[in-house]
Structure 1
Amino acid sequence: MAELLYRLGRAAARRARTVIAVWLALLLSSGTAFFLFSEELKDSFSIPGTPTDEVNQEVSEEFPGMGGGTGTVVYQTKDGSAFSEEQREAIGDRVEEAAEVSGVEDVIDPFATAEERAEQQEELEEGRTEIEDAREELEDGQDELDEARGQAEFAGMLDQAEEDLDAQQAELDENRETLDEESEELKEGAALQEMASEVRSVSSDGSTALVNVAFTESQEAVSQETKDAVMAVFADDPVAGTTVDFGNDIAMTVPSLVSTTEVIGVIVAAVVLVVMLGTLVGAGLPILTALVGVGVATLTAMSLSGVLDMASVTPILGLMLGLAVGIDYALFIVNRHRRQLKQGIDVGESIGLANGTAGNAVVFAGMTVLIALLGLNLTGIGFLGLMGTVGSLAITIAVLVAVTLIPALLSLVGVRILRHREREQRAAALTTPRTGHDDTDTQPGVRPMSTGRAVGRVAVAVLALGIIALPVFDLRLGMPDGSSEPTDSTQNRAYTAVAENFGDGQNGTLLVAAELPEPSRDGQAEDYQRAVAEEIYRRPDVSAVAPIGISDDKTMAVFQVVPVEGPASESTESLVHAFRDLAPLDGAGELGVAGMASGNIDISETLSDALPTYLAVVVGLSLIILLLVFRSVFVPIVATLGFILSYFAALGSVVAIYQWGWLGGLFGVENPAPILNFLPTIVVGILFGLAMDYMLFIGSGMREAYVRGRPARLAVVEGFRAGRAVVTAAAIIMISVFGGFIFSETVMISSIGFALAVGVLLDAFVVRMTLIPALMHLAGGAAWWLPRWLDRILPDIDVEGAHLERHHTQAKEEDPTGPHERVEGPPVEVLPSHARVNGRHHAATRGERQQAGEAD
């Protein structure tokens, strides 16, 4: 691979303009595809086969027109007074107009519903009055009959009048029985009305009204075009003296791909590049190439939205990843090229070597991220797998840009990639005859850290990460609702208005379906319906329950249930499970639960169930990759454990900020809520790949020094010093880019950006640059132990292209063609053919270690 990338780099350098033209053509083509084929992104997530999905399908079959999605329109009077008659009529006209929109099943007029409920209440009151009056008449009739019977008996004429008196008594008893039945029905009706009293469409003070929209398609299948058409009916022709807002179930806020905070993140990355590389040209190349790669990847992904159900967060995730890794990967190659130029290597040769060494590491690092992201498809969750696929597309293009476009641009820039002083020093070195190599390649003043200091580092790092990770034990997953939207958004205003005027539970009503046994007599299905409604209403977390209807075959009854608390609350989640676990009543079947709140709960639980398996796959992959790279048993284990620590610490930070609300004002978290349900899974894949990148650039330097014969503990220090600058710069760039998304108005983007920024911060600076060196020091030579049988069967993966570098350096030293081909700097030792890569059989290692005062 290294030799192939060397040749690719040389070829790209020789045909720089052609390579640049190809990438510009790809950018133009992806932009054209975007404008021609892209369609609207989705604002909802679904997983087929969940309990909610199954209930929706059953309800759709039994109740045609009921299984579709819903939307909420909230009207309020500006002065807080009750709606006037003119305002009610105007809203009713818009309800009728919205009902004609294509894709709309029905729109409910809130005032008509309120009037119907008032009429029902009035009928109940009239029924009670009539029954009371009838009972009084019956009692009067009974008194008269009893008096007549007494008089007949006193007059001795009871025998003659008894038949007539008994007939009158039978009629009274029949009327009383009928009255009792009517009274019982009235009582049952009153009980049902009482249970449904909190299911209201107009607030008690008459200042707020809810217009409920029913769509023909399921919630996730309703097109935004249909939703926009409905909203236009109400928003484009406002009702005088009122405000109108739209719930999160109908209004969609498409996150902006580019915002001010993200630009600031890129600017911070540019500053880091200028400080590290020293020139504006050098700093500009990684950013320019990253933008090209991101443009191609993002536009290509969004052009597929016409054939794939793509969530709005999916292309932004690709943008986030592509921008961060694109800058980092370009930095690795540019930094290696600059170092080689300063050593006196010719520009063209340096480009090839940089591409074959640092570029080889870039390809390997990209493959780790790529595999982890594509592994999201193993979860079997469609939208999550698509996120991984789009992210992997961004990574693939970032790698291709790094190993083709960067060499092309470097060839055009030439030595201007160096500072002016560095160019002068290079020119002077090229004209100065070499005096031979320095026999000591040990860096002056380099000494191993003390054992006590290493123990202290391990203790502090593990303790700090453990403390930061503690909130993860309270992790709750969910989907953002209207309360998590910006306070000035229509979704947040609608959510707040509903919560204040109708109760929190009205923002997350549940649809409960009950299977009824086959009725054996008339009215038995209604009896079952009442029994189920009463059982549901007994639950302490239920605010109201309203029977919606019974299927034509009398086998299913559906209810609207209003929880006490909102859709993201623990009590609502417990309520959903309580309904599903409820034992069947009198032969009736189990209860099924649907609705947006129930659907989000099911999705969160499905993702939670898939996370341990995916995490195990990622951890196993980590062990295999690191075993191949470092040919050691100890290094993969500690590196993987470090990744697990940084991962859970990142999740703990997210819980503290976004769920508990700590420092919420600083990060723009106005309403703490459960964590985005797919965040833990998506962060595993991304953070794993980035952690392997940093481990590669820190650990490979340690391994290289050890293989060259350094004592194990001294190799730790030398390898750390060799890689810390580039890892520090890369991590700061990653944190800056990810951090730019923290202040996104969309909580999904904000929380993902925060998790990745904190994860990179902890993994790079606490795990890779503090914990790992200390553990490697404590392990000493045992850190590089590998069983002989395993050593024989493992392939030799030259990740950093060391063999390539030795080959080309040796060739130049044997046949120099001029001073510009001479390599200045410390010599590169060529290992004998019998030397083991892990250093166990290196002939010179023991003597050199003894000189350093440390036994192998």
Structure 2
Amino acid sequence: MATLLYRIGVGAARRAWLVVTGWLVVLGLAAGAFLTFGGTLASSFSIPGTETERVSSLLAEELGTSGATANVVLHTRDGAPLDDAQRQGISDALARVAELDGVDRVVDPFATVEEMTLQAEDLATQLADNETATTALTASRDQLQAALAQAADPGAAAQDADPATDVDSLTAQLTEVETQLAGLEIQADQLALGQELMSFAAGIRTVSPDGSTAIGVVSFEQDAMSVGQDLKDAIMTTLDDGAPDGVAVEYSSQLATSVDGIVGPGEIVGLVVAALVLFLMFRTALPALLPVVSSLVGVGVGVAGAMALSGLVEMSSVTPVLGLMLGLAVGIDYSLFIVNRHRTQVRAGMDVRESIGLANGTAGNAVVFAGATVLVALLALNVSGIGFLGLMGTVGAGCVLIAVLVAITLTPALLGLIGTRVLRRSERGAAPVAHPTPAPMRTSRAVASIVAGVALLAVMAIPALGMRLGLPDGATESADSTQYRAYALTAEQFGAGQNGALLVTASLDAPMEELDVLPTQVAIARAIMDAGDVVAVAPIGVSDDADFLAFQVVPVDGPSSESTEALVHDLRGLDVLDTGSPLGVAGFASGNIDISERLGETLPLYLVVVVGLSLVILVIVFRSLVLPVLATAGFVLSLLAALGATTAIFQWGWLGSVFGVNEPGPLLSFAPLIITGVLFGLAMDYQLFLASAMREAYAHGASARAAVSAGRHQSRAVVIAAASIMVAVFGGFTFSHLTMIRPLGFGLAVGVLVDAFVVRLLLVSSAMHLVGDRVWWLPRWLDRLLPNVDVEGAALERAHPIPSSSEPAGDPADLPGGDARSAAPAAAGASTASD
């Protein structure tokens, strides 16, 4: 691999313009494919096989309610009650929305209020009429009973009358009256049940008590993943244009979410900071800009290519943004490693073109390995069996793969174009500066470092013990967004539960008789109300064969609250009618709960896979059993600290005003999985660049403890720079317009920060110092079985020696305790103090 990469590097430098042109053509093709074949990005998620999916399928089958819904909140700008003209204008605008292709129906809030009022008045009238009729018939019955008693008395009968005829006639009349009374009694019971059922639904309102705010509901013909942004835009345009004077329109997150904010000020600032770090490291513009340019080309190809597939597969809006975030971060870092190695070699006197090839064969070889670890970690997300998560991992892996390809082809080409300008003017032709090898750290310092570092990470990890998972709702949006205003207005005027109404279903063993429908509905509604934390229950349908019922349930709290989550589980445990079939629950809140629980169940398995993978890879690379355990333990500490910090910010609300957290809520349900996969790959990158230099020093005769200090001193500059760039890029996404990206950016920024600066440079190095020679121990039988992975091209480096007095002397095979097979080469990011 190293020799192949050497040839690629030399060839790219020799034909630089051909390589640059080729990548620009690929970028243009990717952009053209996106513009031609790109489809709609969805803002919702679904996992087949969840309880919500099952109940939703039943609703579609039994009642035909399969389409998605979205709320529209209309309110007066001055808070005054809506007047008649404004109400009519709103109704007219909603009617125009109902005519759009793709819209199934629209709920007019004022028509709903009028309909409910009429129903209540009609029920009251019918009850009054029933009572009047019952009173009249009761009097008739009493009279008939008295007349019948008199007619049956022979002594009281008239001489010319036929007693039998009178008795038969009166008996028939009495029977008729009693039949009518029985019917009125049944009707009274039904009317009373209807009033009780309406009382349960009284908490569901479409117009606020003060009359200033109304909620319209748009129902689509398709499910949430299939509704196109064009239709959403048409709905919002229709309502914005048709809104009466003095009325503002706000849209829920199901309607207003788009990818318009895919790149915002935060991301741009992060990229600028990364460029500034590169400039401070290189102290000259051209080599500082080169990694940024390379990463931008790679990101353009990767993200445009991924979005071109959005017309073929259901892709969430966060998927290409994840690719953008990863592509930028690793693209800059991978190019940095190659550029930095090339600068070191050119400064030592090596020919520019040969140096490019050698840097590509050594540092580039390490880049390929490092990228492979990130690829494997991301592709492993497919083991979760969750479609949208696997797709996110696959797209992210694709962007990382392109970043690797760009680093080992475009970066050498650009280095060939700038030639000796990769160095500052003062460095060209200057003699290399020798730097003394640092002394081993003190054991007391190593112990203190471990104690302090573990204590710090443990404190940071504490919030992770109470971590709750969920999906974002309107409460997590930016305070100036229409989604947040819609959520806040709904919660203020109608109650928080109106933002996450539930759909509850009941399946019966056999069809109901007509007179049993209302009693059954009331029995179920009573049980739901008695479950607690419920504001209202309203029937929404009965199947044609009368064996399936559905209800709308409004909880007390919002869709992300703990009480709503508990309510969903409680309702699913209710078997109101003793049929053996508990109630089913669906809806936005229920779906989020199911998805979050499924993702939470997947996390331990994924963590085991990643940790196991970490151990295997590090054993092969470093030919040691102890070092992989230390490195993996450090990764787990970094992960827990990152999850703890993310929980404290986004769930507990610490420093919420700084990070734009308006209302704390559950942590993004798939954030732990994404953070685990990406952080694993990056942690192994930093471990590779540090430990390989330590291994080389040890193989060349240094003591184990001296090798730790030497390797850390040799590689720390590039690791610090690379980690700083990662933190800058990920940190920029912490302030993204897309709320789902914020916790990912923050978690990865914190994870990289603690992993590079605390775990790799402090904890693992200190632990290696304490373990001593045993850190490189490997059983001989295992040494014979493991493949020889020359990660950084030691053989290539011996074939192309650097003309510097600082290069390693002798062959590792000639040194005590070392052999050519076990010796690891210099770190890809080797640097001098002048960097």
In structure 2, the residue corresponding to 1:123 is in which secondary structure?
helix
Residues 559 and 588 (structure 1), Cα distance of their counterparts in 2 relative to 1, 3 Å cut: farther
How far is 1:127 from its partner? 2.7
The whole-number CA distance in structure 1 between the counterparts of 2:822 and 2:396 is 42
Deviations 1:298-332 (A, max 9, x none): 22222222222221111111111111111111111
Matching residue of 1:29: 29
In structure 2, the residue corresponding to 1:543 is in which secondary structure?
strand
How far is 1:723 from its partner? 0.9
Out of 779, 788, 808, the position equivalent to 2:780 is 788
Q: For residue 679 of structure 2, what is the amino acid of its counterpart?
A: L
Matching residue of 1:814: none
Asked if residue 711 in structure 1 is aligned to residue 680 in structure 2, the reply is: no
Residues 835 and 370 (structure 1), Cα distance of their counterparts in 2 relative to 1, 3 Å cut: farther
How far is 1:271 from its partner? 1.8
In structure 1, the residue corresponding to 2:740 is in which secondary structure?
helix
How far is 1:838 from its partner? 7.3
Mapping of 1:26-425 within 5 angstroms?
A: 26-64=26-64, 66-137=65-136, 157=156, 173-425=178-430
Matching residue of 2:594: 602
The whole-number CA distance in structure 2 between the counterparts of 1:170 and 1:331 is 99
Asked if residue 686 in structure 1 is aligned to residue 678 in structure 2, the reply is: yes
Deviations 1:573-594 (A, max 9, x none): 1122222222352326332211
Asked if residue 832 in structure 1 is aligned to residue 810 in structure 2, the reply is: no
The whole-number CA distance in structure 2 between the counterparts of 1:307 and 1:445 is 57
Asked if residue 767 in structure 1 is aligned to residue 759 in structure 2, the reply is: yes
Out of 572, 575, 596, the position equivalent to 2:567 is 575
How far is 1:690 from its partner? 0.4
The whole-number CA distance in structure 2 between the counterparts of 1:635 and 1:97 is 68
In structure 2, the residue corresponding to 1:254 is in which secondary structure?
coil
Larger deviation, residues 406-415 vs 778-787: 406-415
How far is 1:267 from its partner? 1.8
Q: For residue 118 of structure 1, what is the amino acid of its counterpart?
A: T
Q: For residue 307 of structure 1, what is the amino acid of its counterpart?
A: L
How far is 1:205 from its partner? 2.7
Larger deviation, residues 505-514 vs 531-540: 531-540
The whole-number CA distance in structure 1 between the counterparts of 2:694 and 2:803 is 27
The whole-number CA distance in structure 1 between the counterparts of 2:221 and 2:741 is 30
Matching residue of 1:650: 642
The whole-number CA distance in structure 2 between the counterparts of 1:775 and 1:152 is 112
In structure 2, the residue corresponding to 1:799 is in which secondary structure?
coil
The whole-number CA distance in structure 2 between the counterparts of 1:762 and 1:653 is 11
Deviations 1:499-542 (A, max 9, x none): 11211111111111211121374433443333222222221022
Asked if residue 723 in structure 1 is aligned to residue 721 in structure 2, the reply is: no
How far is 1:806 from its partner? 1.7
CA RMSD of aligned residues (A): 2.5
How far is 1:401 from its partner? 1.4
How far is 1:142 from its partner? 6.9
How far is 1:59 from its partner? 1.5
Larger deviation, residues 135-144 vs 683-692: 135-144
Matching residue of 1:743: 735
Out of 443, 458, 465, the position equivalent to 2:457 is 465
**Does structure 2 conserve the Cα–Cα contact (< 8 Å) formed by 1:548 and 1:560?**
yes
How far is 1:178 from its partner? 3.3
Deviations 1:565-614 (A, max 9, x none): 11111111112222222235232633221111111111111211222111
How far is 1:826 from its partner? 4.0
Deviations 1:95-128 (A, max 9, x none): 3322221111111222121111101111222233
Residues 464 and 82 (structure 1), Cα distance of their counterparts in 2 relative to 1, 3 Å cut: same
Residues 145 and 553 (structure 1), Cα distance of their counterparts in 2 relative to 1, 3 Å cut: closer
The whole-number CA distance in structure 1 between the counterparts of 2:513 and 2:818 is 85
The whole-number CA distance in structure 1 between the counterparts of 2:18 and 2:677 is 35
The whole-number CA distance in structure 2 between the counterparts of 1:503 and 1:336 is 61
Q: For residue 457 of structure 2, what is the amino acid of its counterpart?
A: L
Residues 138 and 424 (structure 1), Cα distance of their counterparts in 2 relative to 1, 3 Å cut: same
List gaps (5 residues or longer) in structure 2: 824-835
**Does structure 2 conserve the Cα–Cα contact (< 8 Å) formed by 1:516 and 1:588?**
no
**Does structure 2 conserve the Cα–Cα contact (< 8 Å) formed by 1:631 and 1:838?**
no
The whole-number CA distance in structure 2 between the counterparts of 1:592 and 1:755 is 35
The whole-number CA distance in structure 1 between the counterparts of 2:721 and 2:425 is 22
Residues 643 and 78 (structure 1), Cα distance of their counterparts in 2 relative to 1, 3 Å cut: same
Larger deviation, residues 5-14 vs 684-693: 5-14
How far is 1:227 from its partner? 2.1
Asked if residue 479 in structure 1 is aligned to residue 471 in structure 2, the reply is: yes
Q: For residue 722 of structure 1, what is the amino acid of its counterpart?
A: Q
Q: Identity of aligned pairs, percent?
A: 52
The whole-number CA distance in structure 1 between the counterparts of 2:25 and 2:512 is 74
The whole-number CA distance in structure 2 between the counterparts of 1:838 and 1:529 is 81
In structure 1, the residue corresponding to 2:256 is in which secondary structure?
coil
**Does structure 2 conserve the Cα–Cα contact (< 8 Å) formed by 1:104 and 1:216?**
yes
Matching residue of 1:817: none
Deviations 1:741-792 (A, max 9, x none): 1112222111111011001001001100110011001101111111111011
How far is 1:825 from its partner? 2.7
Asked if residue 666 in structure 1 is aligned to residue 666 in structure 2, the reply is: no
Deviations 1:693-713 (A, max 9, x none): 000011111111111111111
Asked if residue 802 in structure 1 is aligned to residue 783 in structure 2, the reply is: no
How far is 1:170 from its partner? 5.4
The whole-number CA distance in structure 2 between the counterparts of 1:766 and 1:255 is 37
How far is 1:147 from its partner? 8.2
In structure 1, the residue corresponding to 2:492 is in which secondary structure?
helix
How far is 1:832 from its partner? 2.7
Larger deviation, residues 359-368 vs 234-243: 234-243
Residues 612 and 494 (structure 1), Cα distance of their counterparts in 2 relative to 1, 3 Å cut: same
**Does structure 1 conserve the Cα–Cα contact (< 8 Å) formed by 2:295 and 2:328?**
yes
Residues 149 and 826 (structure 1), Cα distance of their counterparts in 2 relative to 1, 3 Å cut: closer
Larger deviation, residues 193-202 vs 579-588: 579-588
Mapping of 1:479-498 within 5 angstroms?
A: 479-498=471-490
**Does structure 1 conserve the Cα–Cα contact (< 8 Å) formed by 2:650 and 2:667?**
yes
Larger deviation, residues 157-166 vs 315-324: 157-166
The whole-number CA distance in structure 1 between the counterparts of 2:120 and 2:760 is 70
Q: For residue 21 of structure 1, what is the amino acid of its counterpart?
A: T
How far is 1:386 from its partner? 1.4
How far is 1:158 from its partner? 8.6
Residues 285 and 787 (structure 1), Cα distance of their counterparts in 2 relative to 1, 3 Å cut: same
Asked if residue 611 in structure 1 is aligned to residue 610 in structure 2, the reply is: no
Matching residue of 2:509: 517
Q: For residue 105 of structure 1, what is the amino acid of its counterpart?
A: D
How far is 1:34 from its partner? 2.3
**Does structure 1 conserve the Cα–Cα contact (< 8 Å) formed by 2:478 and 2:660?**
no
Residues 518 and 611 (structure 1), Cα distance of their counterparts in 2 relative to 1, 3 Å cut: same
**Does structure 1 conserve the Cα–Cα contact (< 8 Å) formed by 2:701 and 2:816?**
no
Asked if residue 3 in structure 1 is aligned to residue 8 in structure 2, the reply is: no
The whole-number CA distance in structure 1 between the counterparts of 2:78 and 2:351 is 78
Residues 71 and 147 (structure 1), Cα distance of their counterparts in 2 relative to 1, 3 Å cut: same
List gaps (5 residues or longer) in structure 1: 430-440, 810-820, 843-856
In structure 1, the residue corresponding to 2:769 is in which secondary structure?
helix
Deviations 1:58-117 (A, max 9, x none): 2112122x1111111122233433333333332222233222211111112221211111
Matching residue of 1:16: 16
In structure 1, the residue corresponding to 2:812 is in which secondary structure?
coil
Q: How many residues align?
A: 817
Q: For residue 30 of structure 1, what is the amino acid of its counterpart?
A: A
**Does structure 1 conserve the Cα–Cα contact (< 8 Å) formed by 2:262 and 2:737?**
no
In structure 2, the residue corresponding to 1:747 is in which secondary structure?
coil
How far is 1:460 from its partner? 1.1
Out of 511, 524, 532, the position equivalent to 1:532 is 524
Q: For residue 321 of structure 1, what is the amino acid of its counterpart?
A: L
Larger deviation, residues 3-12 vs 253-262: 253-262
